[in-house]
Structure 1
C-alpha cells in the first residue's frame, strides 16, 4: 500500500468502530465502498464476506440478538442499500441494534439524475423508513458524530437499527483529528414514585400477572423474585422467550395467542408488563386491548400510550425497574405453580410437538435457536421450552421468510463455542439458501433443521380455513441432500424420530454445518 501521510475518512471510520468495541462486520466490498475496506486488514475487526446484502443484515441482527451487542454491516450505494432494507425492517420491528454503514454517490452528484452507477433519488430517505436514527454525512466531523450518536442510542435507548451513509468523495477525504470513542450514556433510571406505586398495587393484588417481552431478557433474576413472592404466573411474548426459564412452575410460556390469555388478563387486578409492545404479533387479536390494572415498564415512551392503557407507566430499563420493585414485594402464601389450558392440539400441532420434543431433548439448553416463518416454528413458539435468555430468535414483527439461516450464522459468530441451531422450512430456506456457502466457508458447526412438507403449508391451510381453493402453494423443491453437499455441508434425511436424534447428536460434533431434512414421514412412517 502506498504511503499515506494522513488517514482517509474511510480508514478512520474503521478505527473508530474498533474503539467502540466492534469486533465483527458483515458485508460485501464493491467499487463504491472499497475505501471502507482499506484499513480493515490492519484492524482487529473480523470481516465476514456474505453472499447477499440481505444476508449481511440478518447476520448482524443475529449477532446482536444473541450477544446483546450491536451488529454492524458495510454495504454499497443503490442495490446494496435496497437489498439490506428487509433485514433493517425486521430489526426495526423486533427491537434489534443493527448498524448499517453505506456508501453514497459523491456529494456533487447526489440525486441529480445524471445516470451515475447505483443512483437513487433519495437513498437516505429509503433507509429512514426502517431506522431509528439515520444520517447523511458531508464532512469527516459528520461521520464521527453519526457513529457517536449510533452507539449512544445502542447504549441507552430502545434497541433499533441505525443507518449512516457516507458519500464516495467524503470517504477519500483526509480524516483530521478527533477519531476516538466518546463516553456513552446509560439507560434512564425509573421514577421512584412510580416504582413505589407499582409496589403498592402489586402487594394489594389478589390475582397478579406478569408479562415479559424482549426488553426484559436481562431481568430474569428480578422477574422471578417478584413472581415467587407474589405467586404470580409469568407469560412471555415470543421475543421474551427465555427471559425466565419456561420450565419454572410459575412460567406459562408464550400463550398470548390462546383465547384463555384475555380471560386471564381480564381476571387480573395487577398486570406487570416489562419490555413489550403487546402488539398484534404477540397475541394475534388486534380487536382487544388491556384497559385497566396495567403497569408498564419500557424504554420507549410511545409504547406507554398505545394501544393499551397503562395505569402506571414507568420509563426505564426493565432490569433496574424490576430489581427496585422486587425489593418492596412482600412474600405471600399461595400455589407455587401456575396452570393454563392450552386446549387440545390438532393433528398437525400434535405431530410437530412430537418432533420438537426430540429436538429439545437433543439440543443443549444454551443452544441459540434461530427460527423462521414456518409451521414448525409457530408451534415451537408455544410448546418449545426455552430456559436461557437470547436463545430463541424469531422474526416476530416483520415476519420475514429466510430469516433463520443468516441469523443463525450471525449468532454463531457472536457466541463462539456455544451451539447454534436453525429451524426453517423448505420454502423459507430458499430465500437465503446462498448463505449456506458462508456457513460452509467458515466451517461453522450449525445444526440446520429444515422442515420439508413440499408446500407453503401455513398459507395452504389458511386458504382452506378461509374457503379459498388452495393455489400457488405447492412447489418443486431441489434435492436438498445434493444441494447441501454441493455447498460442502453434511446432510442427513432421518427416516424416523430415533434417527433424527442420532442426526442431531452427530451434527453437534461435526466440523462444519449440517443440514437435517425433516419430513412428516419421520412421524407417520
Structure 2
C-alpha cells in the first residue's frame, strides 16, 4: 500500500491496481504527469494512444469485451473535450468506463485568468455524459471517488464515471487509508415477482424472449426459458451474442424489420431482459410493446419508460432469468417449439428474397467474413452501411463479441474499440468492421495497434462516399451533395503506419486475406470495395 509520504497521484495508481485495473489508456501531458509517476512501479499496463478520443473508445471496447471497467487518463481542458465523444458513446450504450482527468488548481480554477486549458466548468461538461462526476479537493475525496465508481460498476446499470483531480491535489501527500472498499451486489428479484412472471409465461400461447445488452451474461438462463416454452428469441443490437446466433430459436436483431415486429405484435407475453427498448432499437419512435410485457433491468428509470410493463423487475438479468426458468410450470411445449423453429428458419430463408441491390451485395461480403473468422472473434463495428446490414444478418455466437456504437452513433468507434478489446482479450481474435469515411476519424490509432503488434483484422468497406447519407438524400428527394470525397491511398497509408495492407479483388481473395491477417505479426488493413463482386 502507498506510504504516507507518497503523493496523491502516486497513491491513485496503487488504489486502481488494488481494484483490479490492469490496463489504462491515455496520454501523459504537462497537467497530468503526476498521475504517471507511479505507473512504472505498478503492474498496470499503460497504452499510449494517439488522441484522447482513442483512449476513451479503447476503454469502452475493453469494457464491452471483458465485462470489466475500462480506465483512461486525460488532461485538463482539451483532453476532456476530446474524450467526451467516447464518454457519450459509453453513456448511451451502458459501458463501464472510468475517466480520470487532471484539473486546474483548487485555488485558481475557472477565474478567467487565461490559465492553460482553462474551462468555465470542466466538471459541468463531464456531468452531461457520465453517471457519476466527482471533483476531488482532498486525498480522501480521491479515495471516495474511486470507491463510488467501482461500487456503481458492481451494482448498477453500467455507465461511465468521471473523477477530476486538481493539479495541486495530485502533489499533496496521500496520507493513509488507501484501501479498497467492499462493493455491493447486484439487486435480486423479489420472489413474488418471479412467481408472477413464471405464471404469466406458463399460460402464454405466443411468448417471446427479448434480450438486450444487459442480458449478455444471462444467455444460458434465457435459452433454457425459450427452449422450455418453445419461444422465439429476439435481441437488440447490443444483445447480439447473448445466445448463439445459429440456435434454431434465435432470430437475432430484427426489431426494425417486419418479421421481428410481427412476432412482438402477436405475442401475448414478452420477457424482456436488459434493454431500455430505445428508439435506436426499433428505429421508430411510435412502436410500443403492449400487454404481457415482463421487464427485467438494473435501471429503475428504464422500467418506467417508454413501454409500460405488466411486471417490472429491478434485478440482475442472469439471476432473475435463472429463477424464472426454475419456476416455470411444467408443460409440454415441444409442438410449439417445433413450429417456432420452422417459423424462424422460414423467415431467415426468405430474407434474401427481399434484399435490394446494396443488401444483396453486402450479404455476400458478410457471408465470406463470417465463414473466415473464428466463432469466438470479437468484432468492433462502426456507423457504416456494412455494419448496419451486419447488425441484422451477421450471426454472432458468443456474448461480448459484437461491439457496435448504437445509441450515440459516433463515427470512428470501431478501430480504437477493437484495439481496446484486443488488450482486454489477448487470446481471442479481434476484427474491426468500418467504412472509408469513419476510419478517418481515428485512423491515427493504426499507430497504436502497430506499436503493440496487435494482429487486428481491419475490414474497411470503401465506397468512396458517405454512402448511407447519399442514399438517405436520394430517398428524401434531396439532390446528393457533400457526400463524395477524395480518399487517401489507404494501402500506402496503412503501410506508412507499419501495418500490413491488402486490397482483395474477389470474394475468394477476401477470405484468403482474412486468413493471412489472423496469423499476421501486426494489424492488417483489408480494403474491401464493391468491385470485389465483379
TM-score interval w.r.t. the shorter chain? Answer: over 0.9
Instruction: Name which of 417, 422, 441 aligns with 1:431.
Output: 441
User: Which residue in 1 is equivalent to 2:129?
Assistant: 130
Aligned to 1:140: 139
Q: What residue number does 1:409 align with?
A: 419
The residue aligned with 1:365 is: 375
Q: Does structure 1 residue 510 correspond to structure 2 residue 509?
A: no
Q: Matches of residues 470-509 of structure 1 in structure 2 within 5 Å?
A: 470-509=480-519
Equivalence for 1:333: 334
Q: Deviations over 1:321-349 (max 9, x none)?
A: 00000002234232331423646111100
Where do residues 62-77 of structure 1 align in structure 2 (5 Å cutoff)? 62-77=61-76
Per the TM alignment, residue 417 of structure 1 is displaced from its structure 2 partner at its CA by 1.8
- For 1:459, which of 459, 469, 483 is the aligned residue? 469
Q: Distance in 1 between matches of 2:152 and 2:216?
A: 18
Q: Are the equivalent residues in 1 in contact too, given 2:194–2:327 (CA < 8 A)?
A: no
**SS of 2:379 mapped into structure 1:** strand
- Secondary structure of 2:354's counterpart equals coil
The corresponding residue for 1:279 is 278
Q: How does 1:28-107 map to 2 (within 5 A)?
A: 28-107=27-106
The aligned residue for residue 356 of structure 2 is 346
1:463-494 alpha-carbon deviations (Å, 9 max, x no partner):
00000000000000000000000000000000
Distance 1:49 1:457 in 2: 33
2:254 match: secondary structure:
coil
Whether contact under 8 Å (2:90, 2:160) holds in the other structure is: yes
Which deviations, in whole Å up to 9, do the C-alpha atoms of 1:46-78 show, x marking residues without a partner? 000000000000000000000000000000000
Aligned counterparts of 1:37 and 1:246: Cα–Cα separation in 2: 43
Cα distance in 2 for residues equivalent to 1:74 and 1:480: 30
1:115 equivalent in alignment to 2:125:
no
Which piece of structure 1 moves more, 208-217 or 330-339?
A: 330-339
- Give the match's secondary structure for 2:99: strand
Query: Which secondary structure state, in structure 2, belongs to the residue aligned with residue 406 of structure 1?
Result: helix
Alignment partners' CA distance in 1, 2:293 and 2:433: 35
- What is the alpha-carbon distance in structure 1 between the residues aligned to residue 327 and residue 120 of structure 2? 56
Instruction: Check whether the contact 2:4–2:174 (CA below 8 A) recurs between aligned residues.
Output: no
Q: CA deviation at 1:291?
A: 2.9
User: Given that residues 4 and 173 in structure 2 are in contact (C-alpha distance below 8 angstroms), is that contact kept between their aligned partners in structure 1?
Assistant: no
Residue 5 of structure 1 deviates from its aligned partner by 7.3
Deviation string 1:68-119 (CA, Å, 9 cap, x unpaired) is 0000000000000000000000000000000000000000111111110000
Q: Which residue of 2 aligns with 1:315?
A: 314
1:407-437 per-residue CA deviation (whole Å, 9 max, x = no partner) reads 0000000001210000000000000000000
Find the aligned partners of 1:417 and 1:210 in 2 and give their Cα distance.
32
1:290: Cα distance to partner?
1.1
**1:305 aligns to what?**
304
d(CA) in 1 for partners of 2:415 and 2:50? 12
- In structure 2, C-alpha distance between the alignment counterparts of 1:202 and 1:291, rounded to whole Å: 15
Residue deviations 1:161-212, cap 9 Å, x none? 0000000000000000000111111100111111110000000000000100
Q: Quick one: distance in 2 between partners of 1:454 and 1:10?
A: 47
Answering whether residue 7 of structure 2 is matched by residue 8 of structure 1, we say yes
How many angstroms apart in 1 are the aligned matches of 2:529 and 2:383? Answer: 17
What is aligned with 2:451?
A: 441
Shift of 1:460: 0.2
Distance in 2 (CA, whole Å) between partners of 1:368 and 1:5 is 43
Aligned length: 521
Displacement after TM superposition at 1:263 (Å):
2.5
> 1:510: how far off?
0.3
Q: Give 2:185's aligned residue.
A: 186
| C-alpha distance in structure 1 between counterparts of 2:98 and 2:112, whole Å | 28
Report the counterpart of residue 418 of structure 1 in structure 2: 428
Residue correspondence of structure 1 range 368-407 to structure 2 within 5 A: 368-407=378-417
Q: Distance in 2 between matches of 1:45 and 1:181?
A: 16
Match of 2:252 in 1: 253
Q: Which is further off, 326-335 or 509-518?
A: 326-335
SS of residue in 1 equivalent to 2:209: strand
Matched ranges for 1:163-202 at <5 A: 163-202=162-201
Once residues 497 and 185 of structure 1 are traced to their aligned partners in structure 2, the CA distance between those partners, rounded to angstroms, is 51
Tell me the SS of whatever aligns to 1:301. Answer: coil
Deviation at 1:266, TM superposition (A): 1.8
Q: Which runs of 5+ in 1 are unaligned?
A: none
SS for the counterpart of 1:521 is helix
- Aligned counterparts of 1:378 and 1:187: Cα–Cα separation in 2: 33
**Cα deviation per residue 1:5-56 (whole Å; 9 max; x = unaligned)?**
7110000000000000000000000000000000000000000000000000
Aligned pairs (5 A) from 1:212-231: 212-231=211-230
Calculate the TM-score normalised by the size of structure 2: 0.97
